[in-house]
A = this chain, B = another copy of it.
Amino acid sequence: MYTVGEFAHLAHVSKRLLRYYDEIDLFKPIQIDPSSGYRYYTAKQMTQLNRILALKELGLTLNQIQRTIADDISSEELEGMLRLRKAEIEQQMIAEQRRIREIEARLEAIHNDETNTPPNVIIKQVPDIHALSVRRTMADFATAVDFYTRVQTLMPRRFASGRFYCICRSDTDTLHDLDLEFGVFVNKPQDKPLALSDDVMLNPSQLPAHDKMATTVVTGALETIHRGYAEITRWSAINSYRLNGTHRELCLQMATHLDGRDMITEIQVPVEPLPLP
């Protein structure tokens, strides 16, 4: 018969742990003195405790361990639990490899230049989004900005809170004859087009969900937005992602200056993870 302290010492665990396991009915002393409340354990129980500790080492939760111990569990269930846990660990390891990668890149950045280069690209998950949109070919960025502004002015009040987006399907280095889509996000899916004026008609559309989207925020006029794409491209190369899918730009803040230098835009590019080399 051992007291908590002795048993804890033998098992190389803390007394608190033994009391806790008693409290949650996971592992109880074989006897408790009714008058003093002292817990007493026997050597025989060591095997049981070791079993619990071993399962804990595998990363099972105490709750899961409790179920396996209570022996009201079939070997199929146990197998399921283990398989699940294995999958979890594998997921974690992939994520951790990427973290290591990113940390290494940042350490290198610190060494190469003194400038503190904070990370600007992050991965987000975005759902389907309903919108009203119009797609046109524009001569150049100036025309686009004009049109953009006009659409914003014409937009009815009830869409005032709706955020605008822009999709450019031309090559990123093309500066003329741009294939552009402007749109405004709406909460409910719309079923009929909305005429803003004689020559501007917004059609119901939907932006597809993406599980992994690399995003970054750029401040400045539309002409300077390529810096954002450059950043995302560089980041993706370093972190083993491949751009795939149609990128979009979200207007976070509209320009108040004519030159658009206070415009804030979020770039979103769907990406897909590549196996790490």
Chain A positions near chain B (C-beta within 8 angstroms): 6, 10, 12, 42-44, 46-47, 50-51, 53-55, 57-59, 75, 78-79, 82-83, 85-86, 89-90, 92-93, 96-97, 99-100, 102-104, 106-107, 110, 114, 116, 118-126, 161, 163, 215-217, 219, 250, 252-253, 264, 266
Q: Other than the known A12-B126, A58-B106, what 15 A-B pairs have Cβ atoms closer than 8 Å?
A: A43-B217, A44-B253, A47-B217, A47-B219, A53-B122, A54-B118, A54-B121, A57-B99, A57-B102, A57-B123, A58-B99, A75-B110, A79-B107, A82-B103, A82-B110
Of B97, B118, B264, which contacts A43 at CB under 8 A? B264
Copies of this chain, count: 2
Contact A82 B54 (CB under 8 A): no
Nearest CB to that of A54 among chain B residues?
B119
Contact partners of A107 in chain B: CB under 8 A: 79, 82-83, 86
Give complex CA distance A123, B116 in Å.
43
Min CB distance, A82 to chain B, in Å? Answer: 5
Give complex CA distance A103, B216 in Å.
40
Contact partners of A58 in chain B: CB under 8 A: 99, 102-103, 106
Contact B82 A50 (CB under 8 A): no
Contact partners of A53 in chain B: CB under 8 A: 122
Q: A54-B120, A120-B51 are in contact. Are A46 and B92 (CB under 8 A)?
A: no
Give complex CA distance A82, B111 in Å.
13
Min CB distance, A181 to chain B, in Å? Answer: 20
Q: A103-B85, A103-B86, A124-B12 are in contact. Are A78 and B44 (CB under 8 A)?
A: no
Give complex CA distance A276, B167 in Å.
48
Nearest CB to that of A107 among chain B residues?
B82
Q: A122-B53, A122-B57 are in contact. Are A116 and B44 (CB under 8 A)?
A: no
Contact partners of A99 in chain B: CB under 8 A: 57-59, 89
Give complex CA distance A163, B124 in Å.
58
Nearest CB to that of A85 among chain B residues?
B103
Contact A252 B43 (CB under 8 A): yes
Contact A44 B264 (CB under 8 A): yes
- Can you list the 7 inter-chain pairs with the closest CB atoms, starting with the nearest? A43-B252, A43-B253, A54-B119, A43-B264, A54-B122, A12-B124, A47-B217
Contact partners of A47 in chain B: CB under 8 A: 120, 217, 219
Nearest CB to that of A1 among chain B residues?
B253
Contact partners of A252 in chain B: CB under 8 A: 10, 43, 46
